[in-house]
Amino acid sequence: MKEKKITIGCDHAGYELKLKVIAHLQERGYEVLDVGTHSTESCHYPEIAHEVCKNIQNGVTELGILVCGTGIGMSMAANKHKGIRAAACSDTFSARLTRVHNDANVLCFGERVVGMGLALDLVDNFIDAEFEGGKHQYRVDMITAIEQQEL
C-alpha cells in the first residue's frame, strides 16, 4: 500500500492553490507536511523547494508537491537535489506518466497556469500512478548516473 504522507510547499504565488491542494489531500486521507510558505508575502522559492526535497531525501515522505506561479522555477530548484526527479506539469497525462515512466517524486505546477480543478486532477493522477519499472528503470538509472556524474 502506498504511503499516505506527502510533503507540500509553495512560494507566495502558489499559496492560495496550495491551501486547496492540502484540503483535497487530507480529504483523501493523506497526512500533509506543509513546509511553507504560510502567506502571500514575497519569499524565495528555492528555499521552499529545498525543504520539500530534504523531506524526500531523508525518507520523511516519498512524494512532494511544489506550487509557484508557473511550476518551472520550483522544478528547476528541486531537480538540483540528489535523488529528486521533479516534473512541472500542466496536464493530467504528463502528471500520470511522469510517475509511470520517470519515477518522478515531486510534482510541480503553477497557480498562474492551472486552476483549482485541474490542479486537483494533476495531484490525483500523480499520486495514484505507480512506477512501471522494466525498460523505464534502465532510463531512470541513467538519470541517476548523470546526477552522480558517472555517465
How many domains is the chain partitioned into structurally?
A: 1
Q: What is the pLDDT of residues 20-58, one digit of tens each?
A: 999 999 999 999 999 999 999 999 999 999 999 999 999
Catalytic residues, which ones?
Answer: 68, 101
Angle in degrees, 0-180, between the axes of helices 15-27 and 116-128, rounded to the nearest 10? 50
Q: What phi and psi, each to the nearest 5 degrees, are found at residue 110?
A: -115, 135
Partners of 88 in beta bridges: 108
Report the CATH number at residue 17. 3.40.1400.10
Neighbours of 25 (CB within 10 A): 21
Mean pLDDT of the chain: 96
Q: Which three cell numbers stand for residue 109?
A: 505546477
Structural domain including 34 reads 5-147
Partners of 33 in beta bridges: 7
Place of cell 506561479: 69
CB 69 within 8 A of CB 77: no
Regarding predicted confidence, which is higher, 149 or 29?
Answer: 29
Burial of 82 (0-12, 13-18, 19+ CB in 10 A): exposed
Q: Could you tell me the pTM of the whole model?
A: 0.96
